[in-house]
Structure 1
Amino acid sequence: MDKNEKIAGLAFLLLLGGLGIAALFIVLFAELAEEVMDKEFGLFDRAIIALMEAGSSETLDNVMFIFTEMGSVWFLTLSSVIILAVLGFQMKDKWGMLFFVIAVGGGSLLTLLLKHLYVRERPSINAEIDALGYSFPSGHSMGSLVFYGFVMYLVIRTRQRPWIQWVTVVVLSVLIIMIGSSRVYLGAHFPSDVIAGYIAGAIWLLLSLIALEWIQWHSRSPVPPVHALRKLLGPLYRAVRTKLPFFSD
């Protein structure tokens, strides 16, 4: 088995692993949604909201408003235009552009679909912080995870210096958490809405990135993925057949 086949086989296993993780997240989201609809998260939601209310202040109000704006539709839309310009004019990455639109745009449509599917009312209505419509899952949380998660992927994929990659991942991860926390602090969402938004966002982001990697792989690799996987797992299969007779024909 040559080096290209081995690399292709391992890459295919990673893609399958990503699909497995996405499937687990789907199950987790379904379980969470069922419990939320059965009102089994009431105590948890009230406890977190009470904790945040106890630590509120005018300064923190302003800070949280800034964070919530960084996950708003207008901010992510403007930022998306910038990312698309970089992908198109600087990186010449047509597949990256396509799947960025699919990830961010499709994620927004999925959020609306889920909101109208579960029809959960918000803890409070406030147009100034985009707290309109249904509550579950949190659109800010889902949208920010998809958008900033895709940016992390791009920074890692373009093989920036290690310290740049680490700083980007840490800073954007904290930003995603703070955007979700701001929605609870400002009374726009229940904590369970934010958790559900993160899970749904992770599912959609994973599926988008897996599809992108698959297409890029097909367009660049000389080795067919299924052929590479067969060659990679062939020795393991033969070893199992040798040691376990009931696997033989």
Structure 2
Amino acid sequence: MILLKRDFRWLIAGIVASCLFICLTLIVKLNTHWISKFDISFEKIILATGGTNSDQLFSIIAFFGSPIANLLLTMILAISIWVKQKNIFNLLWIMFVQVGGDALVLLFKIIIARPRPQNQVITDYGFSYPSGHTFSTTIFIFIILFIIVPLLDDQETQFAVSLLAIFWLGLVAFSRLYLRNHFPSDVLGSFFLAISWWELMRSFYLTLKVNFSEKMGE
């Protein structure tokens, strides 16, 4: 019963996140005055935290939170799970969630074609919306929270790992704003897209797992 309630909540979260992402994407594409005001108001707060030491710190965080870094980390986790569980389906699913999601982000970047903010601390190329760093890190954190954490026996360890994972996600997202590689709406859109994508992939996983179990039972 608890699992059913949890699944229902995630289904609702996925639907809501999808609707919010679609709305925000349309607003960004239309480049309305409202979204510009939203981005500028948050950028002013972030600019007040600047400094040389912080520049170096957030540059390092951004490097380890990049899509390539997250892809490599996801691959390591997937292989580790395969070695422990000997389940090739889980390995392929985990990799598809990350790789497929990154491809989806790239598609939206091309469609929206939003230029990056001016005066970047460290120059980043390509289009701005949505944030690839934020999306790939969010997916990686979801993999940790929903696949790795349940495998841990100690509840205190589970809590500590979960807390550190969420904290890391916050740092990566903030680093994209601090370095002025993205607008706040880019990061927000990535969160919405990541939740939507994760719920879609999670639903596919559960469906395929049930079908696979039924066939094995036959």
Q: TM-score, normalised by structure 1?
A: 0.77
8 Å CA contact 2:128, 2:182 repeated in 1? yes
Identity of aligned residues (%): 21
Code of the aligned partner of 1:183:
R
Deviations along 1:56-91, whole A, 9 cap, x unmatched? 111111111121112113311321231122022122
Aligned match of 1:203:
196
Aligned match of 1:25:
17
Residue 34 in 1 paired to residue 26 in 2?
A: yes
Aligned match of 1:107:
101
Q: In structure 2, what is the Cα distance between the partners aligned to 1:212 and 1:167? A: 27
Q: Alpha-carbon deviation of 1:12? A: 5.2
Aligned match of 1:120:
114
Aligned match of 1:245:
none
Residue 154 in 1 paired to residue 147 in 2?
A: yes
Q: Alpha-carbon deviation of 1:105? A: 0.5
Q: Alpha-carbon deviation of 1:161? A: 1.6
Code of the aligned partner of 2:80:
V
Q: In structure 1, what is the Cα distance between the partners aligned to 2:204 and 2:148? A: 18
Q: Alpha-carbon deviation of 1:160? A: 3.0
Code of the aligned partner of 2:73:
S
Relative to 1, partners in 2 of residues 1:187 and 1:126: Cα closer, same or farther, differing over 3 Å? closer
Q: TM-score, normalised by structure 2?
A: 0.87
Q: Alpha-carbon deviation of 1:122? A: 0.5
Code of the aligned partner of 1:48:
F
8 Å CA contact 1:122, 1:134 repeated in 2? yes
Relative to 1, partners in 2 of residues 1:221 and 1:157: Cα closer, same or farther, differing over 3 Å? farther
Equivalent residues in 2 for 1:36-185 (5 A)? 36-37=28-29, 38-39=31-32, 40-124=34-118, 131-185=124-178
Relative to 1, partners in 2 of residues 1:211 and 1:164: Cα closer, same or farther, differing over 3 Å? farther
Q: In structure 2, what is the Cα distance between the partners aligned to 1:93 and 1:13? A: 27
Q: Which has the larger radius of gyration?
A: 1
- Return 5+ residue gaps in structure 1 as ranges: 1-6, 223-249
Q: In structure 2, what is the Cα distance between the partners aligned to 1:86 and 1:152? A: 16
Q: In structure 2, what is the Cα distance between the partners aligned to 1:125 and 1:139? A: 19
Q: In structure 2, what is the Cα distance between the partners aligned to 1:17 and 1:49? A: 33
Code of the aligned partner of 1:28:
L
Relative to 1, partners in 2 of residues 1:125 and 1:215: Cα closer, same or farther, differing over 3 Å? farther
Relative to 1, partners in 2 of residues 1:124 and 1:58: Cα closer, same or farther, differing over 3 Å? same
